[in-house]
């Protein structure tokens, strides 16, 4: 019976793999080569699962293959190939992740039907400031010196607290293991969409690691200028404006006695300027301006308490983060200053044997916000703060072919009292050996505590007839999610299609969310103030459900992956939640001939049937499906030098901004074909 099921699985696998156009090509290629070297940029998925360590699923290091919580990983080499700037471009590569451009020209993500407010972005397992509502701007996170990005899809509030209802993206920074210096420069162009007076993008990076005794010192800087682009010759209103960024990251880590310590400092500066059209009735142009300065200071200590031959492993860790973000943004004539603060101390204690692992911890967290209008000094948000004390614990029972997790988190918030989340999950190895079949499943609660802006905001545009108010009486959003995934891995040796590793992964989710927060019209207050008054309000329930299906076939030098995601997100009136695409398809082909020291990847993203907003598009829909193709290539041509070529959005698929101005819905992204060439020196 076991052999029989193996055959069926293999046949299904071959059938799925044979649908990959690339695979046939790859097979012929593979037959012609006996080269079998491993290239780090594209771990085969099977090897990757057996070699890559992930930390996000359980807050302890686990082999990817043994993680009882399913984790998607992008490794350093792959990140370097996908982006030299910020992580926004890299995340678009991950199956099931929808990257969206927000109103501030930043980037957010959607996962499993939740928007960016409910996907928690972490840097080294700690939260970041969210200048756009509750969503972190992915374009304000440097992709430089990142070890890997780990993605958990589905509710993860048990381990990570508020905002992790749709999933967690954890960006793990690198700890250099040898002295090194690298310098790189890149120049790029938006080709035919370039602006005449600002033709080229420029990007310079410097990274260095210095080891002195038990200490490691790192510096990473990134200077980036991105010009705007436009789709016509009239630049009175450009879909994208000029963008200048500076990232400076400093880090030192080492031992003080038996303590592992790390000190990190990050500085970020950003300036945006975009024409948004001629001022009505005036001869000059309106601009959208954003000036951001952000500083972050981390101090981490940890200690392993293990003794030689101890069966019990113990470790504690304390991390702290201070982060401050000043921003002046808005249209000329309606600028505002916003000051955000984030302060957190968190700790955990891990106790483990070969069969049992217990992770317990807690944290103290504080957020502050003050928002002031520049023209008259009035407060859109007075100085406000909120604090929370949180505690969590998770038990992991580990058997030979199964694992079970039970986790609980309790949060006492200064404004909302106690919130809790419980999660039960497990993993079973249904097949082991040559063919591996893993079943992961879980049911978990999620929550999101309202942000300070949602509670205290007063956006006064009375001169235009409307106001938006925060609401101090909001309740936290809550959710309960059930999800299950089935992962199959096998290897084919000398088959018709050559020798390759094959992986198939299906993930199904169902979420019931309550008290989602949105701004809605308040008729009573509208009457009182004779204006259109919108107030942040807990709206009704929503049901989010869907599935992701991925197949990957990986040869020694060729890699291919296909992914399809389906999301249904509706409120209890069966009205679709805005902005969510129902269908997403991603495909990639990587070619990494190590004897030429080349990494390359071609990938496409296709999205279809986005829920159309009810307001602003009264004239219908122009386009509700799109796809983009990107190609990235890097080539190390000497011991110290490499060059790279980037072709983004090769088909120049983009929104028709004129049509959108005429209130026609166009789901295509604000984007442009982009070509860049870069060179890197590495010592």
Binding status of residue 332 toward another protein by CB under 8 A: yes
Q: Give, as one character, the DSSP assignment of residue 240.
A: B
What minimum distance in Å lies between the beta carbon of 616 and another protein?
A: 5
Buried b (16+ CB within 10 A) or exposed e, 113-123: bbbbbbbbbbb
Candidates 32, 309, 524, 574; binder of another protein (CB under 8 A) is 524
The first and second tokens of residue 677, run together, are: 């060439």
What minimum distance in Å lies between the beta carbon of 54 and another protein?
A: 43
Is 478 within 8 Å of 446 (Cβ atoms)? Answer: yes
Closest CA to 655 of 663, 667, 639, 646: 667
Beta carbon nearer to another protein, 147 or 278 = 278
Options 325-333, 504-512, 594-602, 625-633: segment touching another protein (CB under 8 A): 325-333
What minimum distance in Å lies between the beta carbon of 664 and another protein?
A: 10
Binding status of residue 40 toward another protein by CB under 8 A: no
Options 58-66, 120-128, 273-281, 398-406: segment touching another protein (CB under 8 A): 273-281
Beta carbon nearer to another protein, 11 or 575 = 575
**Which strand (E) or helix (H) includes residue 323?**
strand 313-331
What minimum distance in Å lies between the beta carbon of 531 and another protein?
A: 8
Candidates 281, 311, 354, 417; binder of another protein (CB under 8 A) is 281
Candidates 331, 341, 579, 593; binder of another protein (CB under 8 A) is 331
Rounded to whole angstroms, the maximal C-alpha distance in the chain is: 80
CB atoms within 10 A of CB 660: 17
Closest CA to 426 of 451, 396, 450: 396
Binding status of residue 337 toward another protein by CB under 8 A: no
Candidates 278, 366, 608, 635; binder of another protein (CB under 8 A) is 278
Q: Give, as one character, the DSSP assignment of residue 193.
A: G
What minimum distance in Å lies between the beta carbon of 459 and another protein?
A: 9
What minimum distance in Å lies between the beta carbon of 291 and another protein?
A: 16
Question: Taking CB under 8 A as the criterion, which residues in 414-473 touch another protein?
Answer: 460-466
Candidates 310, 523, 572, 620; binder of another protein (CB under 8 A) is 523
CA distance 99 to 120: 14
Candidates 473, 625, 663, 681; binder of another protein (CB under 8 A) is 663
Candidates 286, 329, 419, 556; binder of another protein (CB under 8 A) is 286
CA distance 96 to 101: 16
Question: Taking CB under 8 A as the criterion, which residues in 347-386 touch another protein?
Answer: 373, 375-376, 378
Strand partners, 341: 324, 368
CB atoms within 10 A of CB 124: 16
Beta carbon nearer to another protein, 472 or 662 = 662
Beta carbon nearer to another protein, 18 or 526 = 526
Binding status of residue 572 toward another protein by CB under 8 A: no
Beta carbon nearer to another protein, 124 or 571 = 571
The first and second tokens of residue 112, run together, are: 């499993």
CA distance 657 to 35: 49
10 Å CB burial of residue 271 (0-12, 13-18, 19+) is middle
Query: Which alpha helices (H) appear in 92-185, and where do they start and end?
Result: 157-160
Strand partners, 247: 222, 268
How far does Cα 378 stand from its chain's mean position?
35
The residue ranges that bind another protein (CB under 8 A) are 276-284, 286-287, 331-334, 373, 375-376, 378, 460-466, 521, 523-524, 526-527, 532-533, 616-617, 660-663
């Amino acid at each position: 019976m076991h052999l029989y099921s193996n055959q069926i699985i293999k046949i299904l696998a071959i059938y799925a793999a044979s649908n990959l156009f690339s695979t046939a090509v790859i097979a012929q290629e593979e037959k012609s080569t006996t080269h079998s070297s491993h290239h780090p940029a594209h771990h085969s998925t099977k090897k990757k699962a057996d070699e890559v360590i992930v930390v996000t699923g359980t807050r302890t290091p686990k082999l990817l293959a043994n993680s009882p919580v399913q984790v998607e990983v992008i490794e350093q080499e792959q990140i370097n190939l996908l982006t030299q700037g910020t992580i926004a471009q890299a995340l678009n590569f991950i199956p099931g992740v929808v990257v969206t451009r927000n109103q501030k020209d930043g980037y957010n993500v959607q996962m499993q039907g939740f928007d960016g407010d409910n996907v928690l972005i972490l840097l080294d397992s700690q939260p970041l400031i969210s200048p756009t509502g509750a969503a972190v701007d992915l374009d304000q996170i440097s992709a430089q010196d990142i070890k890997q990005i780990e993605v958990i899809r589905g509710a993860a509030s048990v381990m990570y607290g508020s905002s992790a209802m749709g999933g967690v993206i954890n960006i793990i920074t690198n700890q250099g293991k040898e002295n090194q210096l690298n310098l790189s420069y890149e120049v790029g162009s938006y080709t035919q969409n370039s602006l005449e007076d600002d033709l080229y993008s420029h990007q310079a990076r410097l990274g260095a690691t210095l080891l002195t005794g038990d200490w490691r010192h790192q510096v990473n800087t990134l200077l980036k200028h991105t010009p705007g682009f436009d789709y016509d010759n009239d630049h009175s209103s450009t879909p994208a404006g000029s963008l200048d960024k500076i990232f400076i990251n400093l880090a030192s880590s080492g031992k003080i006695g038996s303590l592992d310590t790390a000190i990190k400092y990050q500085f970020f500066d950003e300036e945006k300027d975009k024409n948004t059209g001629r001022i009505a009735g005036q001869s000059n142009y309106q601009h959208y301006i954003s000036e951001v300065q952000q500083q972050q200071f981390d101090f981490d200590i940890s200690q392993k308490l293990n003794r030689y031959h101890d069966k019990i492993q113990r470790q504690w860790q304390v991390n702290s983060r201070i982060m401050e973000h000043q921003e002046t943004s808005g249209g000329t004539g309606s600028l505002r200053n916003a000051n955000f603060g984030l302060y957190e101390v968190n700790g955990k204690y891990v106790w483990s044997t070969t069969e049992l692992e217990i992770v317990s911890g807690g944290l103290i967290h504080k957020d502050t916000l003050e928002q002031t209008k520049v023209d008259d000094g009035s407060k859109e948000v007075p100085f406000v703060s909120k604090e929370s004390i949180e505690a969590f614990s998770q038990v992991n029972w580990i058997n030979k072919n199964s694992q079970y997790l039970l986790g609980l988190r309790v949060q006492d918030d200064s404004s909302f009292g106690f919130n809790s989340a419980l999660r039960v999950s497990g993993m079973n190895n249904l097949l082991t050996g040559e063919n591996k079949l893993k079943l992961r499943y879980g049911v978990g609660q999620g929550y999101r505590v309202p942000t300070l802006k949602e509670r205290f905001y007063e956006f006064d545009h009375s001169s235009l007839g409307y106001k938006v108010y925060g609401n101090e009486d909001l309740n936290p959003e809550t959710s309960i999610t059930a999800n299950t995934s089935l992962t199959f891995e096998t290897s084919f040796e000398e088959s018709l299609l050559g020798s390759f590793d094959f992986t198939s992964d299906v993930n199904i989710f169902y979420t019931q969310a309550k008290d989602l927060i949105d701004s809605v019209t308040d008729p009573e207050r509208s009457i009182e103030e004779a204006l259109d008054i919108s107030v942040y309000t807990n709206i009704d329930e929503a049901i989010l459900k869907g599935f992701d299906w991925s197949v990957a076939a990986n040869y020694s030098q060729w890699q291919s992956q296909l992914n399809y995601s389906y999301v249904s997100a509706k409120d209890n009136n069966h009205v679709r939640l805005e902005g969510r695409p129902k269908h997403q398809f991603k495909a990639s082909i990587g070619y990494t001939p190590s004897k030429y020291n080349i990494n390359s990847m071609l990938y496409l993203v296709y999205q279809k049937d986005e829920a159309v907003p009810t307001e602003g598009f009264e004239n219908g829909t122009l386009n509700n499906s799109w796809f983009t193709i990107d190609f990235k290539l890097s080539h190390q041509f000497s011991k110290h030098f490499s060059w790279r070529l980037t072709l983004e959005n090769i088909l120049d698929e983009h929104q028709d901004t004129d049509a959108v101005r005429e209130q026609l819905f166009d789901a295509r992204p604000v984007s442009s074909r982009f070509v860049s060439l870069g060179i890197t020196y590495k010592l």
